[in-house]
């Protein structure tokens, strides 16, 4: 998930009524509550409606904790799932008029209309109408009654809040607030095809303001669908968060260059959808570098091929399990391995707001065990003097610093090189005001660069 290209879309066509969008957004919420990922739920929405529905759905997910607390104030019993999803969607969108995309009265009217027009909620339309009309009358008192609830205040599960408080006692509030902000759209310029200043000029020519982040990144002041940006089909850029753009330069920095006779061997394990693979290729010479992209899921591996084809790049894409090198490794050590390990995705909860409601506390330890197994399996594949970059799009220490501390304790031949460690999400004006924040407004990540000092 860490190379996500999700970004705010354009407004829906003017002729699409709000009640229809609310129906679809509530339907997606009901699916997510049943365990479906937001990516799948919103992909099922009719393409013409999807951008507007996703925008409403994402906002509802970011304020779902507050909405559920308000619904408990309004109803003694939980309504049927689809009706409850519609009611909570309306409450999430309208609980704070300053954040609402529509006037609260309009939202209420259209939510009731949505209930009436859906056979699954038609019987509950009078109930939904009564709850929402009461909410309009008593909004301030109802919101005040829910203020003491941590889940309502921070819009994350209680276990998530408590883990953040423990892991980051000085920063947990800022991290939670950042999760509830809309993320920016950040591009990574393909320097094989165009320079960053030239692409910045191309954006300026269509009245898009973009600020420089990192080595080859540009952060847009206003998000746009990628198809409306110059050079997308030609492979001149990719969408990639500023913190995620650190991976390839960090792995390559200080690495001795290869040659035609003895090219550098680089492995991108767990590589889909291919953003980091592409960045590695953009920063290296194809004549002296061989990049292998490994992915266990065949469907996701096809996304790597698609990513590289659009950008005009080539890598060896292998469908196999990184934890089972005997199935795919040729026995020749790698100079560098990038392990972007599966994780809770807690660092990209603002970009994928469904994640916070889908994850369970037990997932953290389960994924930490998988990460440890991957590190254990891939470390023997690094040559002496080579390096492995471990990263996750997580803010939890169990998937970051604690994972690496345990690894170093088990492997005396591993040395931790200067690394960013935990990069906590930075949002809005706060991010722009930091003196040492080259990644701009960015997601949460963890990086640890390990060097193999000797074989023991």
Domain containing 338 — which CATH number?
3.40.50.150
Considering only CA atoms, which of 125, 95, 97, 96 is closest in space to residue 111?
Answer: 125
Q: Which of 102, 136, 155 is the last residue of a domain?
A: 155
Q: Is residue 94 part of a domain?
A: yes
Q: Please tell me the distance from the alpha carbon of residue 61 to that of residue 32, in angstroms, as a whole number.
A: 10
Domain match, 348 and 385 both: yes
Give buried/exposed letters for 338-367 (b at 16+ CB in 10 A, else e): bbbbbbbbbbbbbbbbbbbbbbeeeebeeb
Domain match, 235 and 248 both: no
Domain match, 235 and 375 both: no
Considering only CA atoms, which of 210, 188, 200 is closest in space to residue 283?
Answer: 188
Q: Please tell me the distance from the alpha carbon of residue 6 to that of residue 239, in angstroms, as a whole number.
A: 8
Give the confidence band of 278 by pLDDT, cuts at 50, 70, 90: very high
Q: Please tell me the distance from the alpha carbon of residue 220 to that of residue 433, in angstroms, as a whole number.
A: 17
Domain match, 290 and 198 both: no
CATH number of the domain that 194 lies in? 3.30.70.1170
CATH number of the domain that 149 lies in? 1.10.940.10
Give the confidence band of 437 by pLDDT, cuts at 50, 70, 90: low
Q: Is residue 199 part of a domain?
A: yes
Contact 428, 415 (CB under 8 A): no
Give the confidence band of 438 by pLDDT, cuts at 50, 70, 90: low
Domain match, 82 and 32 both: yes
Looking at every residue in the chain, the average pLDDT score rounds to 93
| Mean pLDDT, rounded, for 213-233 | 95
Domain match, 338 and 414 both: yes
Residues 357-366 pLDDT 10s:
999 999 999 9
Domain match, 255 and 235 both: no
Contact 217, 186 (CB under 8 A): yes
- In this structure, the number of other CB atoms found within 10 A of the CB of residue 204 comes to 11
Q: Tell me the pairing of strands 316-319 and 414-423.
A: unpaired
Q: Tell me the pairing of strands 316-319 and 289-295.
A: parallel
Residues 327-355 pLDDT 10s:
999 999 999 999 999 999 999 999 999 99
Sheet with 445-452, edge to edge strand ranges: 316-319, 289-295, 264-269, 334-340, 382-392, 445-452, 414-423
Residues 37-92 pLDDT 10s:
999 999 999 999 999 999 999 999 999 999 999 999 999 899 999 999 999 999 99
Q: Is residue 273 part of a domain?
A: yes
Q: Please tell me the distance from the alpha carbon of residue 285 to that of residue 212, in angstroms, as a whole number.
A: 24
Domain match, 330 and 407 both: yes
Q: Is residue 289 part of a domain?
A: yes
**DSSP E strand boundaries for 253-365:** 264-269, 289-295, 316-319, 334-340
Domain match, 234 and 252 both: no
Residue 261 DSSP label:
S
Q: Please tell me the distance from the alpha carbon of residue 429 to that of residue 184, in angstroms, as a whole number.
A: 12
Query: Is 221's pLDDT higher than 70?
Result: yes
What is the Cβ-side half-sphere exposure of residue 50, based on CA atoms within 13 angstroms? 15
**Residue 141 structural domain:** 18-155
pLDDT, residue 322, reads 97
Domain match, 22 and 35 both: yes
pLDDT, residue 13, reads 44
Q: Which of 194, 217, 239 is the last residue of a domain?
A: 239
Query: Is 112's pLDDT higher than 70?
Result: yes
Q: Is residue 9 part of a domain?
A: no
Give the confidence band of 324 by pLDDT, cuts at 50, 70, 90: very high
Contact 282, 315 (CB under 8 A): no
Give the confidence band of 260 by pLDDT, cuts at 50, 70, 90: confident
Residue 183 DSSP label:
P
Residue 333 DSSP label:
P
Q: Which of 223, 239, 255 is the last residue of a domain?
A: 239
- In this structure, the number of other CB atoms found within 10 A of the CB of residue 46 comes to 10
Q: Is residue 179 part of a domain?
A: no
pLDDT, residue 455, reads 58
Residues 305-316 pLDDT 10s:
999 999 999 999
CA distances from 122 to 9, 114, 128, 446 (A): 30, 9, 10, 47
Is 393 one of the catalytic residues? yes
pLDDT, residue 442, reads 94
Domain match, 234 and 314 both: no
Domain match, 439 and 333 both: yes
State the catalytic residue, choosing from 88, 131, 343, 393.
393
Split into its structural domains, the chain has a count of: 3
Q: Is residue 166 part of a domain?
A: no
Q: Is residue 280 part of a domain?
A: yes
């Amino acid at each position: 998930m860490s190379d996500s290209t999700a970004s705010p879309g354009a407004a829906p066509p003017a002729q699409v009524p709000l009640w229809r969008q609310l129906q679809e957004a509530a339907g997606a919420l009901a699916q997510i509550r049943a365990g479906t990922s937001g990516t799948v739920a919103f992909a099922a929405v009719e393409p013409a409606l999807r951008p507007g529905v996703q925008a409403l759905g994402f906002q509802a997910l970011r304020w779902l904790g507050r909405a559920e607390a308000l619904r408990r104030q309004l109803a003694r019993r939980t309504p049927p799932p689809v009706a409850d999803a519609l009611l909570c969607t309306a409450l999430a969108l309208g609980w704070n008029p300053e954040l609402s995309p529509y006037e609260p009265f309009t939202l209420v009217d259209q939510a009731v209309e949505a209930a009436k027009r859906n056979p699954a909620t038609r019987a509950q339309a009078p109930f939904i109408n009564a709850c929402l009309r009461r909410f309009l009358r008593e909004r301030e008192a109802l919101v005040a009654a829910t203020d003491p609830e941590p889940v309502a205040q921070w819009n994350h599960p209680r276990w998530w809040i408590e883990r953040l408080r423990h892991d980051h006692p000085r920063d947990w509030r800022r991290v939670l607030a950042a999760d509830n902000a809309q993320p920016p759209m950040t591009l990574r310029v393909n320097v094989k095809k165009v320079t960053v200043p030239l692409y910045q000029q191309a954006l300026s020519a269509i009245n898009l303001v973009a600020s420089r982040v990192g080595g080859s990144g540009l952060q847009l002041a206003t998000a746009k669908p990628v198809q409306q940006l110059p050079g997308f089909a030609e492979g001149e850029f990719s969408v990639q968060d500023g913190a995620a753009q650190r991976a390839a330069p960090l792995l390559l920095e200080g690495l001795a260059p290869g040659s035609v006779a003895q090219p550098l061997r680089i492995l991108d394990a767990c590589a889909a959808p291919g953003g980091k693979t592409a960045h590695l290729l953009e920063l290296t010479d194809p004549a002296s570098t061989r990049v292998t992209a490994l992915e266990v899921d065949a469907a996701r591996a096809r996304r790597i091929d698609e990513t590289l084809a659009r950008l005009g790049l080539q890598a060896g894409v292998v469908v196999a399990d990184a934890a089972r090198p005997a199935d795919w490794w040729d026995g020749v050590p790698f100079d560098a391995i990038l392990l972007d390990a599966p994780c809770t995705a807690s660092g990209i909860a603002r970009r994928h707001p469904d994640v916070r409601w889908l994850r369970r506390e037990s997932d953290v330890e389960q994924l930490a065990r998988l990460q440890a197994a991957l590190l254990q399996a891939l470390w023997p594949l690094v040559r002496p003097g080579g390096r492995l970059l471990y990263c996750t799009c997580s803010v939890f220490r169990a998937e970051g610093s604690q994972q690496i501390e345990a690894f170093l304790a088990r492997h005396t031949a591993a040395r931790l090189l200067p690394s960013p460690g935990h990069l906590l999400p930075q949002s809005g004006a706060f991010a722009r005001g930091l003196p040492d924040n080259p990644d701009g407004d960015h997601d949460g990540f963890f990086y640890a660069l390990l060097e193999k000092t000797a074989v023991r």
